[in-house]
Chain A
Amino acid sequence: MQQDSTHTDVPAPPAEAHVETHHPGWSTYWKVALILTVITVGEVWMYFVPAIVASRVFVPGLLTLSAAKFAIVVMFYMHLKYDHKLFRALFTGPLLIAACTLIALMFLFGHLVAKLGR
């Protein structure tokens, strides 16, 4: 049977199995869920300790724990650790640029506030 000429020119798809099916197993998922639960318990525990809430550690501590959960979910649940390196570059590149911009802005405004005496 003669094939449609428009179809015969279609290139074969590249192999995808090696980049799209390499995911961690259930033992990893359960361990990650346990770690996420422990971190959340840690966040709530911080709220129950008045000395921590009143100290300068509270906000940076919560942000650090949130960032840890963020990284864990992205790496294991969203499979970025196991996925194509282009996804890693696409995600971590802008994230680093945004983080550096925000930190630079904070220092800039902090410096301006200190200089203007307000």
Chain B
Amino acid sequence: MSHAELTLDEVGVAGEERPYGFKSKKLVMWLFIIADGATFGAILFAYGYIRVGSADWSRPFAFIPTIRNGIVMTFVLLTSSLTMLAAVRAAATGRVGMAVRWLGATILLGAAFAALHLREWFAMIAGGWSLSRNPMGGSPLFGAAFFGITGLHLLHVITGVVAISVVTILFRRGRLDASYIETTGLYWHFVDLVWMFVFPLVYLMNAR
């Protein structure tokens, strides 16, 4: 390829050479993941403190339906990570149709996770739980911690589903290359990563 045919994306911003040989969007995604990881880390750490500091902390979750639902959600999210990996590999080898199908599977699994999560939320709200109300009579901070942590994660899942949908459409139209799939995949694996801590710390540790 001659220099005249190089696009802005290939050389970086304003023709600036990339000193380390990777695309800046990947670096930016890693920096975002570090910042977002710090946010989740701080929230989970604060949750640990209020949980230990509250003498009347509630443990409301029964195996059926909550823990079982959490196991299904974990399985769905882990599977979506695998479908995302398949999409990244297919996109990297130029198989656009295959990549789009795997991305579609990831979107469906992400939407299923969000639906399962929302179903559980609605069941808890119907049971009298809210950000400041504990129907079991224990610390009201439980509702704030539960809805706060799982809500932030759910927001990330929904954002991820929207982002993957947009990237899929643009990739299918040829307006984005395979590196965008990889970068979006990094975000999706991060969402999976956070759930690795949310499930045991928020669900299993609060089981009856």
Contact = CB atoms under 8 A, between A and B. Distances in A.
Contacts of A87: 26-27, 30
A69 B192 CA distance: 10
Interface residues of A, number: 48
A19 B192 contact: no
B200 A8 contact: no
Nearest to B85: A29
Specify the main secondary structure of chain B where it touches its partner: helix
24 contacts: A7-B6, A9-B3, A11-B17, A19-B20, A20-B26, A23-B92, A26-B89, A33-B81, A40-B74, A44-B204, A47-B207, A62-B205, A66-B200, A66-B201, A70-B197, A73-B189, A77-B189, A78-B189, A78-B190, A78-B193, A84-B21, A87-B27, A91-B30, A102-B41
Interface of B: 2-4, 6, 10-12, 15, 17-18, 20-23, 26-27, 30-31, 33-34, 37-38, 41, 45, 67, 71, 74-75, 78, 81-82, 85, 88-89, 92, 179, 182, 186, 189-190, 192-193, 196-197, 199-201, 204-205, 207
